[in-house]
């Protein structure tokens, strides 16, 4: 077969035994057989499904024993085998059947959660909504079992699906919030901060600036006494300051900058603080040209990411749209 797949084989000496037409005909038949005959892994998966169905529907004078758990394990094996054949929907369905059976026994609830998680990974390939549904089922089990870290991880996975696959920023933000709450219950402050920063990120994109500011300030406060994270405070204050400028309330923005300097005595000497003060004056004076220059100069020293660039463009746009008093 490898020889036939190589077009160079069409000029091979072996063709002296066959006409070109005969060779192509044989090749076509072989390809058709391969297409009709499913891969071995797929056949094995179907056989495992049949075994699971048979075990589940079996009956004995001596009771059913652990037939549901055994059937669930067979469904899991079928799911993994379907994955080898890249039959993602079939794999997801098999894992879902396994999870539903594991749910029937309190001793296997953890297995049910893991099965729903496996189903979600399969459905994520081409059915993101189904993936979210599976993860929601896993979250419910994990929360009831006080497995808060696992539940938080699943919320994060849902958030990423909303962001990347469904382009639903509101859904992404909500699930990052839920993840933060669960990490807080599990006393994982570093993960709480990570999630709240994500909430702030999406809140600002959705023009919910007060929400973004609140979460950025919360993370900054939590980071102040941590030697590993206190160096990031100026970044959080910068983002919060930009969100304040987006609200158009310059008085409140000045008050916020004063508060940030009190929270961190070194902030007043940072490039971020001087940049915020500079563009605040530009906004107050309606000087779009100087605003653009200051943004350019800051970007030369500290590269602006996409999020900051977007927020700065919104601030600039608000300056352009302000009615002239002249």
pLDDT digits (tens, 9 = 90+) for 143-189: 999 999 999 999 999 999 999 999 999 999 999 999 999 999 999 99
Q: Is residue 28 part of a domain?
A: no
81 & 182 share domain: yes
181 & 241 share domain: no
Q: Is the pLDDT of residue 19 over 70?
A: no
146 & 232 share domain: no
CB atoms within 10 A of CB 84: 14
Q: Is residue 33 part of a domain?
A: no
Q: Which of 154, 187, 220 is the last residue of a domain?
A: 187
Identify the helix (H) or strand (E) that includes residue 155: helix 148-164
Residue 167, phi-psi category: left (phi > 0), alpha (psi -120 to 50), beta (remainder): left
Q: Is residue 208 part of a domain?
A: no
Angle at CA of residue 277, ends 309 and 290, nearest 5°: 65
How does residue 322 score in pLDDT terms, banded at 50, 70 and 90? low
* C-alpha–C-alpha distance, residues 78 and 93, integer Å: 10
Q: Which of 155, 170, 187 is the last residue of a domain?
A: 187
Q: Is the pLDDT of residue 21 over 70?
A: no
311 & 257 share domain: yes
81 & 180 share domain: yes
Q: What is the mean pLDDT of the chain?
A: 88
Which CATH number goes with the domain that contains 88?
Answer: 1.25.40.10
- Report, as an integer, the average pLDDT of 27-46: 60
179 & 262 share domain: no
Q: Is residue 315 part of a domain?
A: yes
How does residue 29 score in pLDDT terms, banded at 50, 70 and 90? very low
Beta carbons within 8 Å of 13's beta carbon, 6+ residues apart: none
Query: Which residue, 78, 96, 108, is CA-closest to 137?
Result: 96
Confidence at residue 40, expressed as pLDDT on a 0 to 100 scale? 76
Count of domains observed in the chain: 2
77 & 153 share domain: yes
Q: Is residue 167 part of a domain?
A: yes
Confidence at residue 183, expressed as pLDDT on a 0 to 100 scale? 98
160 & 101 share domain: yes
Q: Is the pLDDT of residue 17 over 70?
A: no
170 & 79 share domain: yes
Report the range of poorest mean pLDDT among 25-29, 103-107, 108-112, 254-258.
25-29
179 & 235 share domain: no
CB atoms within 10 A of CB 127: 17
Expressed as residue numbers, the domain containing 297 is 228-321
Q: Is residue 130 part of a domain?
A: yes
Q: Is residue 4 part of a domain?
A: no
Q: Is the pLDDT of residue 82 over 70?
A: yes
Q: Is the pLDDT of residue 38 over 90?
A: no
Q: Which of 164, 187, 210 is the last residue of a domain?
A: 187
How does residue 63 score in pLDDT terms, banded at 50, 70 and 90? low
- pLDDT tens digits, 275-289: 999 999 999 999 999
* C-alpha–C-alpha distance, residues 281 and 188, integer Å: 40
The whole-model pTM stands at 0.84
Helices (H) and strands (E) in the chain, counts: 16, 0
* C-alpha–C-alpha distance, residues 325 and 253, integer Å: 23
- pLDDT tens digits, 191-218: 999 999 999 999 999 999 999 999 999 9
239 & 307 share domain: yes
Q: Is residue 11 part of a domain?
A: no
84 & 177 share domain: yes
Confidence at residue 323, expressed as pLDDT on a 0 to 100 scale? 54
The residue assigned the tokens 């602006």 is 304
């Amino acid at each position: 077969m490898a020889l036939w797949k190589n077009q160079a084989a069409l000029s091979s000496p072996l063709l002296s035994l066959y006409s070109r037409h005969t060779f192509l005909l044989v090749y076509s038949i072989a390809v058709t057989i391969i297409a009709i005959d499913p891969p071995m892994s797929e056949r094995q998966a179907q056989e495992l499904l049949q075994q699971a169905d048979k075990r589940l529907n079996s009956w004995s004078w001596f009771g059913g024993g652990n037939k549901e758990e055994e059937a669930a394990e067979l469904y899991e094996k079928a799911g993994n085998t379907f994955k080898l054949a890249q039959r993602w929907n079939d794999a997801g369905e098999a894992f879902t059947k396994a999870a539903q059976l594991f749910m029937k026994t309190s001793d296997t609830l953890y297995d049910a959660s893991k099965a729903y998680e496996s189903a979600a990974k399969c459905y994520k390939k081409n059915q993101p909504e189904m993936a979210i549904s599976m993860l929601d089922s896993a979250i419910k089990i994990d929360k009831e079992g006080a497995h808060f870290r696992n539940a938080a991880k699943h919320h994060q996975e849902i958030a990423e699906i909303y962001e990347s696959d469904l382009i639903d920023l509101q859904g992404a933000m909500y699930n990052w919030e839920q993840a933060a709450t669960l990490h807080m219950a599990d006393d994982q402050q570093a993960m709480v901060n990570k999630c709240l920063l994500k909430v702030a990120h999406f809140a600002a994109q959705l023009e919910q600036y007060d929400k973004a500011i609140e979460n950025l300030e919360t993370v900054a406060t939590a980071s102040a006494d941590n030697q590993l994270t206190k160096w990031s405070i100026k970044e959080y204050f910068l983002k919060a300051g930009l969100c304040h400028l987006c609200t158009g309330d310059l008085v409140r923005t000045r008050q916020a900058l004063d508060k940030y300097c009190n929270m961190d005595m070194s902030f007043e000497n940072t490039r971020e603080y001087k940049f915020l003060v500079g563009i605040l004056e530009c906004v107050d004076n309606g000087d779009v040209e100087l605003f653009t220059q200051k943004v350019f100069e800051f970007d030369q020293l500290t590269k602006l990411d996409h999020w900051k660039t977007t927020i700065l463009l919104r601030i600039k746009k608000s300056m352009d749209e302000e009615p002239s008093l002249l």
